Amino acid sequence: MSYATSTAVPSGPTNIFRRAEGWLDQRGKLAWIAAMVLGFIFVWPVGLALLAYMIFAGKFKSSSYSDRKDDTMFCRHRRHHHDHAAFRSSGNTAFDAYKAETLKRLETEQEAFESFLQRLREAKDKQEFDSFMDERARRAAEPKAEEPAAPGAY
């Protein structure tokens, strides 16, 4: 017994749109944006239709972060919208205790390092200021050589 599969490709306007969608998907988001801009330039309803399709079909969604609802190609790396995964419980109390202890240790090390950098900056500023004051005092202590009179001066 043999099984035959149909290899005929259906034709019609829906097939053209699906092929165009597949072609644009292969080329990425910039191809979709270019198609939309060209649609607005040449026939504005086509550009508007492409924009609406891209929004409702989720063409602006990033593939690696598609589970986040506020993630679009324009705001993928918003720092103020991260979900604080480091502070959520994992369900393992031993790991959570280790994580809390490690985070606390890292925070104290960071504070110590920042205070070290502040002391280093202050020491450098003080050294530069002392050097400036010594140079100024040295110049003030040197006797000034008399400047020759300008020609024609009385």
Confidence of residue 153 (pLDDT cuts 50, 70, 90): low
pLDDT at 118 over 90: yes
Model pLDDT for residues 7-64, shown as the tens digit of each residue: 555 556 678 778 888 888 888 888 888 888 988 898 888 888 888 888 888 777 765 4
pLDDT tens-digit map of 21-37 = 888 888 888 888 888 89
What was the pLDDT predicted at 149?
Answer: 63
Q: Dihedral through CA 17, CA 19, CA 20, CA 24, nearest 10?
A: 140
Q: How far is CA 31 from CA 48, 59, 83, 112, 136, in A?
A: 16, 11, 31, 50, 66
CA dist 126 and 120 (Å) reads: 10
Task: Tell me what pLDDT residue 115 has.
Answer: 95
In the DSSP assignment, the letter for residue 148 is P
Q: Burial letters for 77-92: b for 16+ Cβ neighbours within 10 Å, e otherwise?
A: eeeeeeeeeeeeeeee
